[in-house]
Chains A and B, each alone.
Chain A
Amino acid sequence: MSNIISYKKSFLLFLSILFLGLPITQSHVGSPGVVFEGTAGPYSILVSVNPPDVIPGIAEISIYASDPDITNIQVKPIYWGVGDEGSPKSDPMNPVPGVPGQFEGIVWFMSSGTASIAVYVDGEKGSGEAVVPIMASATAQKEMDASLGWTLAGLGIFLVILMVTIISSSVGLGIVEPGQEGENLKRKKLIGGIVATAFMVLILYGGKSWWDSESASYKRWMYRPPLANTWIEQENGSRIMTFQVDSLSIKNRNRLPMKYMVPDHGKLMHMFIIKEGTLDVFAHLHPKRVDPLTFKVELPEVPEGRYYVFGDIVRRNGYTETISDTLDIPALIAEEPITQDSTWYDPDDTYIVSTAVDQEADDNLPSDILICGKPGVETPLLDGSTAVFEYQPNQSFIAGKVYPLTFAINDPEGNPAELEPYMGMMGHAVVFRKEGGVYVHLHPVGNYSMASQQIIEDRIAEDTPNPVIGQEADVFYDSVNQVVTQLALLSEAERTDILMQGMEHTGLGEHEEHGATVTFPYAFPQEGDYRIWIQMKRNGKVLNSSFDAKVVL
Chain B
Amino acid sequence: MASTIALEQPLAHESTLRQPAIAFERTPTYVYASVFASLSIIIGLIWDISWHTSIGRDGLLSPPHLAIYLGAVIAGVFSGFKVLKISFWGTGEEKSASVRFWGIFYGSLGTMFCIWGAFAMLTSAPFDDWWHNTYGLDVQILSPPHTVLALGIMSIQLGAVVSTLSQQNSLVGASKVQKLLFIIASGLLLVTLFTLSSEYLGRHDMHHSLFYQVAAGVFPVYLVAVARASKLKWAATWTAIVYSLMLGSMVWILPLFPAEPLLGPIRNHISTYQAFEFPLLLIAPCLFIDLVLNKFGHINKWALAAMLSVTFTLLLLAVQWPFGTFLMSEGARNWFFGTESWYFGSSPDWQYRFDFMPWRLHSGLDLVKGIAIACVVGLFSARVGLVWGKWMTKVQR
**Which A195-218 residues have a C-beta within 8 angstroms of B?**
207, 210-211, 214-215, 218
Given contacts A82-B267, A142-B134, A207-B147, A169 and B21 within 8 Å (CB-CB)? no
B-chain residues with CB within 8 Å of residue A158 when the two chains form the complex: 119
Tell me the bound Cα distance from A138 to B132 in angstroms: 12
Given contacts A142-B133, A174-B109, A111 and B395 within 8 Å (CB-CB)? no
Given contacts A86-B265, A159-B123, A178-B21, A144 and B130 within 8 Å (CB-CB)? yes
Given contacts A148-B126, A174-B397, A179 and B18 within 8 Å (CB-CB)? yes
B334 at the interface (CB under 8 A from A): no
B-chain residues with CB within 8 Å of residue A543 when the two chains form the complex: none
Contact code string A22-56 (vs B, CB < 8 Å = 1, else 0):
00000000000000000000000000000010111
A528 at the interface (CB under 8 A from B): no
Contact code string B98-132 (vs A, CB < 8 Å = 1, else 0):
01111000001100110110011011001100101
A162 at the interface (CB under 8 A from B): yes
Distance to closest chain A CB from B112 (angstroms): 5
Q: Are B396 and A56 in contact (CB under 8 A)?
A: no
Contact code string B265-285 (vs A, CB < 8 Å = 1, else 0):
111000000000000000000
A-chain residues with CB within 8 Å of residue B122 when the two chains form the complex: 155
Contact code string A151-165 (vs B, CB < 8 Å = 1, else 0):
110011011001101
Distance to closest chain A CB from B176 (angstroms): 24
B175 at the interface (CB under 8 A from A): no
Smallest CB gap from A219: residue in B: B135
Q: Are B265 and A87 in contact (CB under 8 A)?
A: yes
Smallest CB gap from B142: residue in A: A210
Tell me the bound Cα distance from A171 to B395 in angstroms: 9
Contact code string A268-294 (vs B, CB < 8 Å = 1, else 0):
000000000000000000000000000
Q: Are A169 and B265 in contact (CB under 8 A)?
A: no
Smallest CB gap from A174: residue in B: B109
Smallest CB gap from B345: residue in A: A110
Q: Are B262 and A89 in contact (CB under 8 A)?
A: yes
Tell me the bound Cα distance from A214 to B128 in angstroms: 14
**Which A304-324 residues have a C-beta within 8 angstroms of B?**
none
Q: Are B19 and A179 in contact (CB under 8 A)?
A: yes
Q: Are B144 and A174 in contact (CB under 8 A)?
A: no
Q: Are A166 and B109 in contact (CB under 8 A)?
A: yes
A73-81, A119-127, A372-380, A429-437: which lies at the B interface?
A73-81
Q: Are B130 and A148 in contact (CB under 8 A)?
A: yes
Smallest CB gap from A169: residue in B: B99
> Contact partner of B391 among A56, A79, A175, CB < 8 A?
A175
Distance to closest chain A CB from B148 (angstroms): 8
Tell me the bound Cα distance from A171 to B397 in angstroms: 11
Q: Is the interface of A mostly helix, strand, loop or mixed?
A: mixed
> Contact partner of B137 among A57, A148, A165, A174, CB < 8 A?
A57
Tell me the bound Cα distance from A207 to B134 in angstroms: 17
A-chain residues with CB within 8 Å of residue B331 when the two chains form the complex: none
Smallest CB gap from A85: residue in B: B266
Tell me the bound Cα distance from A297 to B319 in angstroms: 70
Q: Are A465 and B116 in contact (CB under 8 A)?
A: no
Q: Are A152 and B123 in contact (CB under 8 A)?
A: yes
Give the one of B126, B147, B397 with max A CB within 10 A. Answer: B397
Q: Are A78 and B119 in contact (CB under 8 A)?
A: no
Q: Are A88 and B264 in contact (CB under 8 A)?
A: yes
Distance to closest chain B CB from A158 (angstroms): 7
A-chain residues with CB within 8 Å of residue B135 when the two chains form the complex: 54, 214-215, 218
Tell me the bound Cα distance from A178 to B97 in angstroms: 5
A-chain residues with CB within 8 Å of residue B139 when the two chains form the complex: 56
Tell me the bound Cα distance from A163 to B135 in angstroms: 29
Tell me the bound Cα distance from A82 to B152 in angstroms: 38
Q: Are B264 and A138 in contact (CB under 8 A)?
A: no
Tell me the bound Cα distance from A86 to B120 in angstroms: 38
Tell me the bound Cα distance from A337 to B115 in angstroms: 82
> Contact partner of B112 among A52, A138, A156, A165, CB < 8 A?
A165
Distance to closest chain B CB from A323 (angstroms): 25
Q: Are A155 and B264 in contact (CB under 8 A)?
A: no
Q: Are A57 and B116 in contact (CB under 8 A)?
A: no
B197 at the interface (CB under 8 A from A): no
Distance to closest chain A CB from B277 (angstroms): 23
Q: Are A88 and B112 in contact (CB under 8 A)?
A: no
Q: Are A169 and B264 in contact (CB under 8 A)?
A: no
B96 at the interface (CB under 8 A from A): yes
Given contacts A152-B126, A169-B99, A177-B396, A211 and B112 within 8 Å (CB-CB)? no
Given contacts A57-B137, A178-B96, A179-B96, A151 and B267 within 8 Å (CB-CB)? no
A7 at the interface (CB under 8 A from B): no
Tell me the bound Cα distance from A451 to B47 in angstroms: 43
Distance to closest chain A CB from B265 (angstroms): 4
> Contact partner of A82 among B116, B127, B134, B264, CB < 8 A?
B264
Given contacts A163-B116, A207-B147, A79 and B264 within 8 Å (CB-CB)? yes
Tell me the bound Cα distance from A158 to B119 in angstroms: 9
A-chain residues with CB within 8 Å of residue B101 when the two chains form the complex: 165, 169
Smallest CB gap from B344: residue in A: A88
**Which A174-188 residues have a C-beta within 8 angstroms of B?**
174-179
Tell me the bound Cα distance from A179 to B130 in angstroms: 48
Q: Are B119 and A87 in contact (CB under 8 A)?
A: no
Q: Are B126 and A151 in contact (CB under 8 A)?
A: yes
Contact code string B201-226 (vs A, CB < 8 Å = 1, else 0):
00000000000000000000000000
Contact code string A383-399 (vs B, CB < 8 Å = 1, else 0):
00000000000000000
Tell me the bound Cα distance from A55 to B93 in angstroms: 57
Q: Are A174 and B99 in contact (CB under 8 A)?
A: yes
Distance to closest chain A CB from B114 (angstroms): 11
Q: Are B113 and A177 in contact (CB under 8 A)?
A: no
Q: Are B262 and A88 in contact (CB under 8 A)?
A: yes
B370 at the interface (CB under 8 A from A): no
A489 at the interface (CB under 8 A from B): no
Q: Are B123 and A155 in contact (CB under 8 A)?
A: yes
B57 at the interface (CB under 8 A from A): yes
A170 at the interface (CB under 8 A from B): yes
Q: Are A159 and B391 in contact (CB under 8 A)?
A: no
Tell me the bound Cα distance from A1 to B118 in angstroms: 78
> Contact partner of A178 among B20, B123, B394, CB < 8 A?
B20
Given contacts A57-B136, A174-B397, A214-B144, A162 and B119 within 8 Å (CB-CB)? yes
Given contacts A54-B136, A165-B112, A179-B18, A110 and B265 within 8 Å (CB-CB)? yes
Tell me the bound Cα distance from A148 to B128 in angstroms: 12
A-chain residues with CB within 8 Å of residue B21 when the two chains form the complex: 177-178
A-chain residues with CB within 8 Å of residue B347 when the two chains form the complex: 465
Given contacts A169-B109, A176-B396, A87 and B264 within 8 Å (CB-CB)? yes
B318 at the interface (CB under 8 A from A): no
**Which B381-397 residues have a C-beta within 8 angstroms of A?**
391, 394-397
Q: Kindly list the 9 A-B residue pairs having the minimum CB-CB distance in the complex, ordered from nearest.
A: A175-B394, A82-B265, A56-B137, A54-B136, A155-B123, A86-B265, A174-B109, A87-B264, A142-B134
Q: Would you list 16 pairs from A and B whose C-beta atoms are within 8 A, ordered by A residue?
A: A54-B134, A57-B132, A86-B267, A87-B266, A91-B262, A142-B133, A144-B134, A152-B126, A159-B119, A159-B123, A162-B119, A169-B101, A173-B100, A178-B397, A214-B135, A465-B267
Q: Beyond A142-B134, A169-B109, A178-B93, list 14 extra A-B contacts (CB 8 Å).
A: A56-B136, A82-B266, A86-B267, A88-B266, A89-B260, A110-B263, A111-B265, A155-B123, A169-B99, A169-B101, A173-B100, A178-B20, A178-B21, A211-B144
